[in-house]
């Protein structure tokens, strides 16, 4: 009975979470001039409106640039931090780990206000550099979580053997550790990329005049209900689904590789 209740509640929660997508996606292909469900006909007019508007394309370009830069920086910083937290034996390690993971626990609006005040004092408020730094702060925890699990699953004795055979530390990282963690590295990078691309609260506080896709969507909804947003939302849903599928495949592949080593 408990399994039946658990399965039923899980299905209901999943259906509740998917219901908005099941409404938004058909509406993005609607031929109506306003939001109308069910759609009276099929049309790609809202996708053409998105791709033909230079303001949306500029926002898309900004989102892509910020996401690529911040996720790459977050991958480098988070991977080094994850290795130090997993393999290190120094004092205060739980406290430092908590600081790195804090952006996942602290409400986004608090982080946004803190970054707003800090960037205003150092002159980075409303700049692309500030946006990249802010999104990097949000992406590092995802990298640390994924890479910590991967590093912890990798047998540290293999690293010790490589070092005992005379390999420098950099060579051990490049030729022993990194190739075996590569699927998890890509998965962590995609997590940080999606987190940056979908971020709206922090961006709204520190972006200034710079537009990103989520920020522009939020502003459009405040001013008017523009059906073009349904097309953009559908594209973002498709991007998230593809990214999650890639992450699952990478983590599964990485798990198989770890099992073969151990």
Residue matched to tokens 């900004």: 62
Longest CA span, the chain: 71
Q: How far apart are CA 142 and CA 247, in angstroms?
A: 12
Side-chain-side CA neighbours of 18 within 13 Å: the count stands at 9
Please name each of the domains of the chain with its CATH number: 45-261 (1.10.3720.10)
Q: Model confidence over 213-224: pLDDT tens digits?
A: 888 888 877 766
Residue matched to tokens 């430092």: 96
Q: Can you name the residues that pair with 124 across neighbouring β-strands? A: none
| Confidence band of 136 (pLDDT split at 50, 70, 90) | very high
Say what the pLDDT of residue 254 is: 56
Q: How far apart are CA 142 and CA 253, in angstroms?
A: 19
Say what the pLDDT of residue 261 is: 38
Percent of the chain with pLDDT over 70: 94
Say what the pLDDT of residue 68 is: 92
- In angstroms, what CA-CA distances link 250 with 61, 68, 234, 240, 257? 27, 19, 24, 15, 10
User: Is the CA virtual torsion 82, 88, 93, 96 positive or negative?
Assistant: negative
> To 10 degrees, what angle do helices 178-197 and 54-87 make?
140
Report field, pTM of the whole predicted structure over 0.75:
yes
Residue 128, pLDDT > 60, answer yes
DSSP conformation class of 30? B
The tokens for 221 are 């909804």
Q: How far apart are CA 177 and CA 159, in angstroms?
A: 7
Q: How far apart are CA 256 and CA 205, in angstroms?
A: 42
Q: Model confidence over 187-231: pLDDT tens digits?
A: 889 889 988 888 888 898 888 888 888 888 888 777 667 777 888
Q: Model confidence over 146-183: pLDDT tens digits?
A: 888 888 888 778 777 877 877 787 788 878 888 888 88
Q: Model confidence over 6-25: pLDDT tens digits?
A: 888 888 888 888 787 777 88
| Confidence band of 74 (pLDDT split at 50, 70, 90) | very high
């Amino acid at each position: 009975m408990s399994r039946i209740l658990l399965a039923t509640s899980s299905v209901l929660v999943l259906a509740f979470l998917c219901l908005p997508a099941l409404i938004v996606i058909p509406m993005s292909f609607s031929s109506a001039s306003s939001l109308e469900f069910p759609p009276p006909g099929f049309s790609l007019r809202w996708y053409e409106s998105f791709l033909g508007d230079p303001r949306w394309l500029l926002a898309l370009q900004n989102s892509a640039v910020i996401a690529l830069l911040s996720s790459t920086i977050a991958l480098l910083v988070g991977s080094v931090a994850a290795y130090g937290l997993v393999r290190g034996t120094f004092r205060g390690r739980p406290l430092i780990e908590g600081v790195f993971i804090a952006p996942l626990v602290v409400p986004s609006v608090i982080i946004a206000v803190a970054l707003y005040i800090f960037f205003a004092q150092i002159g980075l408020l409303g700049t692309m550099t500030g946006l990249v730094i802010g999104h990097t702060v949000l992406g590092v925890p995802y990298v640390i979580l994924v890479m910590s699990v991967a590093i912890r699953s990798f047998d540290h004795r293999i690293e010790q053997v490589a070092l005992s055979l005379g390999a420098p530390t950099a060579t051990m990282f490049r030729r022993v550790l990194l190739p075996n963690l590569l699927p998890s590295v890509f998965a962590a990078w995609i997590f940080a990329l999606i987190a940056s691309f979908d971020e709206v609260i922090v961006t709204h506080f520190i972006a200034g005049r710079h537009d990103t896709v989520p920020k522009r969507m939020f502003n459009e909804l405040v001013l008017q209900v523009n059906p073009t947003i349904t097309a953009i939302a559908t594209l973002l849903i498709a991007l998230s689904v593809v990214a999650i599928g890639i992450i699952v495949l990478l983590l599964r592949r990485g798990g198989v590789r770890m099992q073969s080593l151990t």
